[in-house]
Amino acid sequence: MNSFSAIYAAVVGLKNRLYDSGSLKSRALRGPVVSVGNLSVGGSGKTPFVILLGELLRQRGIPFDVLSRGYGRKTRGVLEVDPSGLPDRFGDEPLLIARRVGCPVIVGERRYEAGAYAEGKFGPQLHILDDGFQHRSLARDFDIVLLSPDDLHDQPLPAGLLREPLSSLKRADAIVIPNEMKFAAPPGKQVWRVGRSIEISNAPERAMAFCGIARPQRFIEDLRANGINPVATKFYRDHHPYSSADIDELIAIRIQNGATGFITTEKDQINLGAHIEKLGNVAIARVRMELIDAADALDTMLRVIRERKPSA
């Protein structure tokens, strides 16, 4: 292991031991908290899974909200997301969740304060804690961790992408993996399998693909799996806020490669804002997740919550 990664892992391990021993305290909300997180930095599908979980809860008639840090926003403090708002105010992923799920989404650096705001306005309903596995200052009643095949062979930051080692899965209640992934789960842990696909309407015949996401190559693989082979690509950093200069660059690349239009992601659609009109023909790839045996998984989650929080 890289020496800097070893130092990072030691610091993370110390923090977790302090929480496990009770030396550091977690604050609990009145309503149950379900955390959706992962071990690595970006690209594990947390946002699509939060959307999926929200859809499953809605089908059961269970009221809920989503608590998020609002990464990338220029504001501070607790804010309720306006679905018609801008990413620099709320963050791109909270906006995507609010638009797709239609539930209250509250952003705040301190998720306890965001949850307290939500309970003050909506009551002690179920809270989905977005990207919450490492946010241990807020107590949770069910921990869901998404795991990718890359995580099994990675190392901690900064040499790798892991925010925590695989041994941290002992804190998880359910581990979510791709349907085709082989994984030996720790004893007593639920393993939930998910299928992942993308939906694209009116894809250009000769498409140029671009995106600003954590793992852009996966986006290209998804396109090829759907029979779309981009004639050109352009990648930006995750959560990239598009400028007029970016639009000019994209148009120049499209013309240079004889592309007839663009394909990008839902998150990039949000970050493009009004700039998207200048690009002309743009198809949006929407990620869909499907949870295998979803009814059983949701039943298990709700049962554990009732056992841990009888008042829920």
Prediction pTM value: 0.95
Average pLDDT for 87-116: 98
For the sheet containing 105-107, what is the strand order?
79-80, 105-107, 64-68, 126-130, 33-38, 142-146, 174-178, 190-200, 282-291, 261-265, 207-211, 232-235
Asked if 143 and 164 count as a contact pair (C-beta separation under 8 A), the reply is no
Asked if 215 and 43 count as a contact pair (C-beta separation under 8 A), the reply is yes
Q: Across the chain, what does the average pLDDT equal?
A: 95
Helices 46-59 and 294-308: crossing angle in degrees, nearest 10, is: 80
Backbone torsions φ then ψ of 28, nearest 5 degrees = -105, 140
Q: What is the pLDDT of residue 299?
A: 98
Q: What is the pLDDT of residue 30?
A: 97
Q: What is the pLDDT of residue 4?
A: 80
Average pLDDT for 152-168: 93
C-alpha distances (whole Å) from 3 to each of 6, 9, 13, 239 are 5, 10, 15, 29
The highest-level CATH class for domain 3-195+290-308 is: alpha beta
246 three-class SS: helix
C-alpha distances (whole Å) from 6 to each of 9, 39, 147, 150, 193 are 5, 16, 21, 19, 31
Q: What is the pLDDT of residue 3?
A: 81
User: With pLDDT > 70 as the criterion, what percentage of the chain qualifies?
Assistant: 100
The least confident of 1-10, 158-167, 247-256 is 1-10
Residue 186 has pLDDT above 90, yes or no: no
Residue type, 150: D
CA distance 251 to 282: 11
Residue 74 has pLDDT above 90, yes or no: yes
- Band the pLDDT of 46: cuts 50, 70, 90: very high
Average pLDDT for 239-264: 98
- The tens digit of pLDDT for each residue in 81-92 reads 999 999 999 999
Q: What is the pLDDT of residue 146?
A: 97
Which tokens sit at 294?
A: 């979803």
- Band the pLDDT of 44: cuts 50, 70, 90: confident
Task: Provide the residue ranges of all domains of the chain, joining segments of one domain with +.
Answer: 3-195+290-308, 205-280
Q: What is the pLDDT of residue 254?
A: 98
